[in-house]
């Protein structure tokens, strides 16, 4: 019994982020990119590096995942709008709402009940909600997780070529994969043309694994870049530790852009590379409930 209770408690950990996420978006002017919102929540709550560095079995950030679950329910509650362009923004109601922990739990339980009714009626399928409703806290098997599994199954050379294609789609030119061993971790380079008069040579490194990139790896990459480029990019299917993120933007050192597994899938979505958009509908029970009385 104790194990089941612990499992349920862990599954509901994201409830603590309902109110802070609304506060974070308010502090950011009412809207933000997911990374901005997640970073603001961690700053506001003074989340420790140990928590920020914790990963899921899939390799993703547990903290980011939990904040995303909070957004999932706040969207259902009508406090955050469901943007199609990767922006989290408050609705009019969201701007005015300040949630306590008890209120957050009430919202969660309300939607758990709705999802359970939907399952019973077999009028719609909510696999993501079902797993959370059961209190497992597990990550759903959706297209993002499936895409990440495919990326992890690629050969190192294949992942480098995919990164090359991604950079070209993002506006880089003359993108070359070197693939040379003993090149200080440099897997390729490209040219980013900012405007007709300004361009930058950018070096990139590809890390296809589920582990977290640590600060020493960022420093090693920067050392390999020295004298060869003004900017670097590390692309990984895993995550970056909080220390690695700070190292990448350290004052006085050449900046390094970090693309983790979540951002990588975001970019595949944006450019529709390997991900084909499909339009579908879900039943809005609240709408029909109005006409049942």
Task: Give the per-residue pLDDT at 4.
Answer: 45
Q: Which helix (H) or strand (E) holds 206?
A: strand 198-207
30 DSSP assignment? S
Has residue 92 got a pLDDT over 70?
yes
Task: Give the per-residue pLDDT at 203.
Answer: 93
Residue 165: helix, strand or coil by DSSP?
helix
Say how far apart CA 152 and CA 261 lie, in whole Å: 10
Antiparallel, parallel or unpaired: β 80-82 and 88-90 = antiparallel
Residue pair 218/250 in contact by the 8 Å Cβ criterion:
no
pTM reported for the whole predicted model:
0.69
Task: Give the per-residue pLDDT at 96.
Answer: 92
pLDDT band at 124 (very low <50, low <70, confident <90, very high): very low
238 DSSP assignment? S
Find the helix packing angle between 34-44 and 62-76, rounded to 10°.
Answer: 110
Give the tokens for residue 50.
């140990």
Q: What is the pLDDT of residues 227-270, one digit of tens each?
A: 888 889 999 999 999 999 999 999 988 889 999 998 999 899 88
Instruction: State the CB neighbour count (10 A cutoff) for residue 112.
Output: 18
């Amino acid at each position: 019994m104790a194990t089941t209770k612990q499992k349920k408690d862990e599954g509901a950990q994201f409830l603590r982020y309902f109110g802070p996420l609304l506060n974070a978006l308010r502090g950011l002017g009412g809207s933000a990119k997911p990374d901005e919102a997640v970073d603001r929540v961690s700053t506001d709550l003074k989340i420790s590096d140990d928590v920020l560095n914790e990963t899921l079995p899939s390799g993703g950030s547990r903290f980011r995942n939990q904040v995303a679950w909070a957004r999932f329910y706040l969207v259902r509650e009508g406090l955050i709008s469901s943007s199609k362009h990767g922006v989290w923004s408050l609705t009019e109601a969201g701007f005015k709402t300040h949630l306590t922990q008890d209120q957050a739990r009430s919202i969660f339980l309300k939607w758990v009940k709705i999802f359970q009714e939907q399952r019973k009626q077999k009028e719609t399928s909510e696999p993501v909600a079902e797993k959370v409703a059961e209190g497992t806290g597990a990550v759903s098997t959706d297209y993002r997780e499936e895409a990440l599994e495919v990326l992890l199954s690629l050969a190192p050379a294949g992942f480098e070529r995919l990164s090359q294609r991604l950079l070209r789609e993002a506006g880089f030119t003359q993108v070359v994969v070197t693939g040379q061993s003993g090149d200080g971790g440099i897997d390729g380079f490209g040219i980013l043309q900012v405007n007709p008069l300004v361009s930058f040579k950018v070096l990139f490194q590809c890390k296809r694994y589920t582990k977290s990139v640590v600060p020493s790896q960022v420093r090693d990459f920067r050392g390999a870049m020295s004298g060869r480029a003004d900017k670097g990019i590390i692309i990984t299917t895993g995550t970056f530790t909080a220390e690695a993120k700070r190292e990448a933007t350290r004052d006085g050192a050449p900046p390094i852009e970090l693309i983790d597994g979540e951002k990588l899938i975001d970019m595949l979505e944006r450019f529709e590379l390997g991900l084909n958009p499909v339009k579908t509908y879900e039943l809005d029970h609240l709408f029909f409930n109005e006409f049942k009385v």
